[in-house]
Amino acid sequence: KQQESVQVKQKEQQISLQVNTKEQEHAELERIKSSLEQQNQKLNGELEIIQNNLVTTETNRNNCAEQLKQHQQTLKQYESELKTAKQNHQNAEEQLREQQNTVTTAQQKLQKCQHKEQQCNQARQQAENDVRITQQNLEMAENALKVAEFALDAILAFMNANPLAKVVGLGVKEAAVHACKQKLEGAKRNLQDREKALEKRTRDHEQAIVDTKNAEDTLKTEQKNLETKQNDLTARKRELDIAKKKSLIKKKSLRLQMNSIEIYDDNMNKFNNKNEIKAKK
């Protein structure tokens, strides 16, 4: 009986040892299971974060790509505006040069008109002086004729009163009267010519005054037009500067968007690689 009791105890000890071993193995399995579950949970959390980051990055990348398209369209519009602004500025420069030439021509014409007006005024004054001198000559011819006629009338009166008297110088007196009449007629014709010349010189002078006034008005108008062209060129230059600045800023924005897309693409590749690695784990 004692031997059986020992055997039973030994067997109980073996069973107890086996139970402890199994319990230890079970506890170790539970620990490993718990550790794996924690690792899996951690990996799932990290995988979810990566996937969320990937989705966010992809969304941001798509938004950035859409903004890039908008920037490209806007840049195309700005480039068209810049081209138009350059053409407008070039046209304004050409118009200003043409207007400057027009003003120079108007100034030269005014100078010619003023010079002609001075010449016409001098010619009119000379014609007036010629008329005065011719009038004086006419008066002198009239007076000379009166004197000659008076002398002739005196001889004729003497002859009538003294028919038998011998008269000397009658022919001379008659010749003097005839000569004075011819001289008077010549003076009258000369006066008419001088008066006609004065009328023409007066008309020429009056027309020259009108031409000068018109040239002055034309010059004032063209100078105002020149000022308008200068202001227009200033405005076109300002528009060109604005168009250049807008285009430059938009190009910088475009480069930034392209750089952002490259960064998003790199991040997406990194997230995809991490995602694959985590998935394999």
222 Cβ contact list (under 8 Å, min separation 6): 99, 102, 103, 106
Model confidence band, residue 217 (pLDDT cutoffs 50, 70, 90): very high
**Residue 229 and residue 145 in contact, taking contact as beta carbons nearer than 8 Å:** no
Is the pTM higher than 0.95? The answer reads no
pLDDT tens digits, one per residue of 16-72: 777 778 878 788 888 888 887 787 787 777 777 777 877 787 787 778 778 878 878
User: How far apart are the C-alpha atoms of 20 and 231, rounded to whole Å?
Assistant: 105
The CATH code of the domain at 2-280 is: 1.10.287.950
> What does the domain layout of the chain look like in residue ranges?
2-280
Measured between its terminal Cα atoms, the distance across the chain in Å is 60
For residue 31, the one-letter residue type is R
User: How far apart are the C-alpha atoms of 151 and 168, rounded to whole Å?
Assistant: 12
Average pLDDT estimate for 250-274: 75
**Residue 222 and residue 103 in contact, taking contact as beta carbons nearer than 8 Å:** yes
User: How far apart are the C-alpha atoms of 277 and 281, rounded to whole Å?
Assistant: 6
* % of the chain surpassing 90 pLDDT: 51
**Looking at residue 165, what is its pLDDT?**
65
**Residue 211 and residue 113 in contact, taking contact as beta carbons nearer than 8 Å:** yes
User: How far apart are the C-alpha atoms of 278 and 32, rounded to whole Å?
Assistant: 20
108 Cβ contact list (under 8 Å, min separation 6): none
DSSP, res 162: -
For residue 223, the one-letter residue type is Q
